[in-house]
Structure 1
Amino acid sequence: MESIIHHLTSLQEIRIAGFLSVVSSLANCLPKSLQKLEIKNCRKLEFLEQQQQQKYDLVELRIYSSCDSLASLSLDAFPILKNLEIGYCANLESISMSEPPHNALQSLTIYECLKLVSLTKEGLAAPNLTHLHVKFCKTLEALPPNMDTLLPNLQSLDVEYCRGISRFPKGGLPPNLKSLCMNRNEGQLKGLSSMGKFEALTHLVIHGFGSRRVKSFPEVGLLPHLPSLTTLEIIRLVDLETLDCNELHRLTSLQQLHIKCCLELENMAGEKLPSSLLLLQIEECPLLEKGCKNKHQDIWPKICHIPTIKVNSKQIF
């Protein structure tokens, strides 16, 4: 395979899949012309040799369920890489960078890498990175430091099901962040509320994974000032019983409220939901669904002003 690939001097894209038991190496055979590389279900394939200093002209790299020998991936090897996606990489422990900044990187996605402990301890210096998504990496202890200065153009940050990340890094989050997906983690939420204004944030998703039990949400003063927030999603707060409408009134630009998989949610406290709301969507919340459909006296006055109300994708009002 190596000799065949090496002689395809105009090749721009390679996809390799399904070599489950083949022990092979790509380190010295990738053509200079190659821009996109995808490796899938090739556990024994060796992509980078540990002591090799070779650089690759890849623009896009995707590794899924492959390269079990890969413990550390250095961004130095890919100076013009724009998009990097790694999933189910069994022994990956770190992403590193010794020659900052990496000016080309625009999107970084890592998921189900169960041994991952570090994303560039010195800081992920990627001034043109716009999307950073990290999911199901249970041993990851922290996000990169100094994100506010090293990632000035980050627009989307998605940190889901990473139990080890108890708080956001010192210095706060990037100033131009528009979309944030996070767990309902006590340290993260308190840190978020202490960071001041998030002028650009329009989309906030809060998952209940790994959080302490909470009966009412949002708690008083927990949400930061979010003057531009138009969409809020509340997902899998499994012990949540009451939605506090008064706290949501602080979200003066809110247009869409999505509530999903909150099995114990039954009540709404305080005044009606924000008058700016255009859509209330409720999915897999059986107790709240019943109250909405039956126009319960403790629920209906708080939501009847919303133009569109959907329960499990069916419009009821």
Structure 2
Amino acid sequence: MLQPPHAALQRLSINGCFKFVSFLGGLAAPKLTHLDVSWCSKMKALPRDMNTLLPNLHTLNIQGCTEIGQLQEGDLPSNLKELSVAGCKQQVSDLSWMANLEELTHLTIDGRDCDSVKSFPEVGLLPHLPSLTTLHLFFLEYLETLECNKLFHLTSLKTLRFYECPKLKNMAGENLPSSLSLLEIIYCDLLGELCKNKHPDIWPKIAHISTIKVNGQQIV
């Protein structure tokens, strides 16, 4: 019986390959656990049939691959644990494609160059992620409002971190998830000041969180 062409491959990083377009014939690597594809500006798509060809993929980093088309539910392995998406406008603006990732524990959304994201998450665009414990939101330059009610179904969420979201100042809806134990706000000056001053529009939504830090300074 023939072995898959990359039977022993466990980690793969493709970085700055500006002429790389696609994984011709897919990527058959049953032992691959980590895949990093960064700054491949002409790449059109991730490997096909990842659910079957990459059954042990646990960590996926997609960064600066602006030509990747909109992902669909089921495109990624359902047992993925860690996912980072950066500088990919279509993927960041609509997260509904993550609906099958029930084992995902860590999610990083890096919104650089995504000028359409003014509230997070948009209605119906963040699926139920029952295992998610850590959510990082980075470089969402135009983000103004955090929709608390749209995060409330993340019942395992423990850490929520914002970094370089300079316009973020609103928290709409009720409280953030009761499971949260750490809220960290870094270089988000508007929201940071509101939290430090315990503003009445913000503080009741976060007061239950045991540790709140603003630029490294713990205020609770």
Instruction: Please give the residue correspondences for 1:1-317 in structure 2 after superposition, counting only pairs within 5 Å.
Output: 100-118=4-22, 120-168=23-71, 171-183=74-86, 185=88, 187-188=90-91, 192-194=95-97, 196-317=99-220
Q: Would the aligned equivalents of 2:73 and 2:100 in 1 still touch at CA under 8 Å?
A: no
Shift of 1:189: 5.4
TM-score of the pair, normalised by structure 1: 0.65
Shift of 1:170: 7.9
Residue identity in the other structure for 2:20: L
Q: Deviations over 1:81-132 (max 9, x none)?
A: xxxxxxxxxxxxxxxxxx84311000001222222222x2211100000000
Q: In the superposition, relative to structure 1, how do residues 224 and 101 fare at CA in structure 2: closer, same or farther (>3 Å)? A: farther
SS of residue in 1 equivalent to 2:84:
strand
Range with greater deviation from structure 2 (210-219 or 143-152): 210-219
Shift of 1:142: 1.1
Unaligned runs of 5+ residues in structure 2 are none
TM-score of the pair, normalised by structure 2: 0.92
Q: In the superposition, relative to structure 1, how do residues 137 and 160 fare at CA in structure 2: closer, same or farther (>3 Å)? A: same
CA distance in 2, matches of 1:122, 1:150: 11
The count of residues paired between Structure 1 and Structure 2 equals 218
Q: Percent identity?
A: 57
Shift of 1:192: 4.8
SS of residue in 2 equivalent to 1:291:
helix
CA distance in 2, matches of 1:243, 1:306: 16
Shift of 1:196: 3.4
CA distance in 1, matches of 2:15, 2:21: 12
Residue identity in the other structure for 1:269: A
Residue identity in the other structure for 1:310: K
Unaligned runs of 5+ residues in structure 1 are 1-98
Q: Would the aligned equivalents of 1:104 and 1:128 in 2 still touch at CA under 8 Å?
A: yes
Q: Would the aligned equivalents of 1:145 and 1:171 in 2 still touch at CA under 8 Å?
A: no
